[in-house]
Chains A and B, each alone.
Chain A
């Protein structure tokens, strides 16, 4: 019994089908609690006023945006090394969600930046690297969409994902070199000194859990759809052969 057994599409479908309702309920509950708590039950910041509440969407979506790419990198490697189809399909399924999360982080950041920094946009390393991450997502999805043969598409996008990851990290550090930042440092870290105040901290953690749960839920749904559409295509082909 190992993790790799779930690479079998049938096992994967059985497990994901059983897990999906729990993940969905958990994700939605965490989102409702986290966002509700954050929006209605926390005090306004004494300097930022009520705009501080954007944090409950901004930070979780940014975390999911980056980790979605990380997940795609891992599943791409799994596909290239072990040739599990479910893995490639999961990478394909995650890309639009990651792109949307990146966009949400950028837009909420702009809305937050306008009253706080007096500008919607600045060429700050963090902002710019998120914009570039968004471009990487777009290129990756465009390549998936452009290639007809699904196996070729999976291979080429995996190669692109790996090379893209290296360049994305390079860009990140190049940007730090290129321009000084307006964005604050990390709001959450293992070092408790750096964290936001406790009143904001706990609802933020719940929101993050909600966003991660939402991501897992959407990836599972989309991967299941991909597996089903693959099966449907195979069935149709068999019909035509007969």
Chain B
């Protein structure tokens, strides 16, 4: 499993695996927002937490189809399916690799971009924390979507259509934590619910992902 994780990380960092692409996309979304809503810093401060969450979510979406598609095309997914580790573990490791190369960098970059959007002072801590807790769920849900659409020729758009509604609860609680944090209210209730969603998806969704991969490989 560790070997698989190392392989996936190496693949995404080298060979045009899209590492960094999500970060650049995130930066662009944040840069474009003031052009759309105007440079008024009071307005920006009000929506900063939400924009950063939406930006992180969309950046996460960009690299989802890479989680399984390349392995499916060159046949290594079939090798993994016959490997001694269960397919559920493969799905979990794939999600972990995606999080390490997408969710974690996005979380680390988000406070810096918060400066650009005039995020209020107490918001930085809660924004980073909510992203750190919420983005694993995005990766795990995304892996499930990728597993559903891996057999399709042009699954990218369909993948977004399927995955985005599934992101709703995570986004609601995650952005609520950041928004309440930025506004100086107590964010612990949505934080606990967000953590609950993340833990539940990590525990349960790999089974659904593995089932979808098995169906696609048959």
Residues of A within 8 A of B (CB): 132, 135-136, 138-139, 142-143, 146-147, 152, 155-156, 159-160, 162-164, 167, 170-171, 174-175, 177-178
Please tell me if B151 contacts chain A, counting CB pairs below 8 Å: yes
User: B95: shortest Cβ distance to chain A, in Å?
Assistant: 14
User: B110: shortest Cβ distance to chain A, in Å?
Assistant: 21
Question: Which chain A residue lies CB-closest to B173?
Answer: A174
Are the CB atoms of B148 and A159 closer together than 8 Å?
yes
From known contacts A152-B218, A178-B176, infer whether A163 and B168 are also in contact, taking CB-CB under 8 Å: no
Are the CB atoms of B164 and A159 closer together than 8 Å?
no
Cα distance, A158 to B172, chains bound together (Å): 26
Are the CB atoms of B211 and A159 closer together than 8 Å?
yes
User: B156: shortest Cβ distance to chain A, in Å?
Assistant: 11
Cα distance, A159 to B213, chains bound together (Å): 11
Residues of chain A within 8 A of B158, CB atoms compared = 139, 142-143, 146
Specify which of A136, A147, A152, A163 lies most central, judged by the most chain B CB atoms within 10 Å of its CB: A163
Are the CB atoms of A156 and B215 closer together than 8 Å?
yes
Residues of B within 8 A of A (CB): 144, 148-149, 151-152, 155, 158, 161-162, 164-166, 168-169, 172-173, 176, 190, 193, 197, 205, 208, 211-212, 215-216, 218
From known contacts A139-B161, A163-B205, infer whether A156 and B212 are also in contact, taking CB-CB under 8 Å: yes
User: B210: shortest Cβ distance to chain A, in Å?
Assistant: 10
Residues of chain B within 8 A of A143, CB atoms compared = 148-149, 158, 162
From known contacts A146-B155, A163-B144, A170-B197, infer whether A132 and B172 are also in contact, taking CB-CB under 8 Å: no
From known contacts A152-B151, A174-B172, A174-B173, infer whether A142 and B162 are also in contact, taking CB-CB under 8 Å: yes
Cα distance, A138 to B166, chains bound together (Å): 13
Our count of residue pairs bridging A and B at CB distance below 8 angstroms stands at 71
Residues of chain B within 8 A of A142, CB atoms compared = 158, 161-162
13 A–B contacts from the bound complex (CB under 8 Å): A135-B164, A139-B158, A142-B162, A143-B158, A143-B162, A146-B155, A152-B216, A155-B215, A156-B212, A163-B205, A167-B165, A171-B168, A174-B172
From known contacts A159-B211, A170-B169, A170-B197, infer whether A138 and B161 are also in contact, taking CB-CB under 8 Å: yes
Are the CB atoms of B168 and A132 closer together than 8 Å?
yes
User: A212: shortest Cβ distance to chain B, in Å?
Assistant: 26
From known contacts A146-B158, A159-B211, A170-B197, infer whether A164 and B165 are also in contact, taking CB-CB under 8 Å: yes
User: B121: shortest Cβ distance to chain A, in Å?
Assistant: 24
Cα distance, A175 to B168, chains bound together (Å): 9
Residues of chain B within 8 A of A139, CB atoms compared = 158, 161-162, 165
Question: Which chain B residue lies CB-closest to A173?
Answer: B169
Specify which of B151, B165, B205 lies most central, judged by the most chain A CB atoms within 10 Å of its CB: B165
Question: Which chain B residue lies CB-closest to A149?
Answer: B151
Are the CB atoms of A159 and B151 closer together than 8 Å?
no
Known: A156-B212, A159-B208, A171-B169. 13 other contacts (CB 8 A): A139-B161, A146-B152, A146-B155, A152-B216, A152-B218, A159-B215, A163-B205, A167-B166, A170-B169, A174-B173, A175-B172, A177-B172, A177-B176
Are the CB atoms of A162 and B208 closer together than 8 Å?
yes
Are the CB atoms of A152 and B215 closer together than 8 Å?
yes
Residues of chain A within 8 A of B152, CB atoms compared = 146-147
Are the CB atoms of A174 and B169 closer together than 8 Å?
yes
User: B174: shortest Cβ distance to chain A, in Å?
Assistant: 10
Residues of chain A within 8 A of B172, CB atoms compared = 171, 174-175, 177-178
Q: 9 closest pairs, A vs B, by CB?
A: A135-B165, A170-B169, A174-B169, A139-B162, A174-B172, A171-B168, A155-B215, A167-B166, A139-B161
